[in-house]
Amino acid sequence: MAVPHSPDPYLGYNFFVEWDGIIYAGFQECSGLDTTQDAKEYREGTDPPTVRKIPGLVSYSNISLKRGITNNDELWRWRKKIMDGIVERRNVSIVLLDQQGSEKIRWNLTHCWPTTWSAPEMNATTDDIAIESLEFVHEGVTVDKWS
């Protein structure tokens, strides 16, 4: 009897982030890809003595990206435009790959813009990689591919 899916889960280290169809940079870490929905309570006088739970508004967490800083200043330039009052929203995709490098899951985020950019922490007594981070908001998620 064949199982309906692969028994081994995908590994979380093989992914990329793209916006407007272009991969701008690799990232060390991506977090915050989740969605929640409030439950609203409602009851009418003719209901049994229990409260109904009705789906409320959907909300999305901010996405946090981290990477080793290089001479690629794309993240900073995007954030700087927002600070200058030029709101440039982009559609961003987070793509999970299998161990062979084939695309397996693609989450598409709509109307993204950066709320926070952080320069790397620097310490002359360590040999750590200089990591920059970007946090952005979005207004929705869809899945193009899940295989």
Decide: residue 125, CB within 10 A, 0-12 exposed, 13-18 middle, 19+ buried: exposed
pLDDT of residue 25: 66
Decide: residue 90, CB within 10 A, 0-12 exposed, 13-18 middle, 19+ buried: middle
Q: pLDDT tens digit string along 10-29?
A: 889 999 999 888 886 679 99
Question: What is the spatial distance between Cα 68 and Cα 108, in angstroms, rounded to a whole number?
Answer: 24
pLDDT of residue 9: 87
DSSP 8-state symbol, 120: P
User: What average pLDDT does the segment 36-40 reach?
Assistant: 96
Which residue would you say has higher pLDDT here, 127 or 147?
127
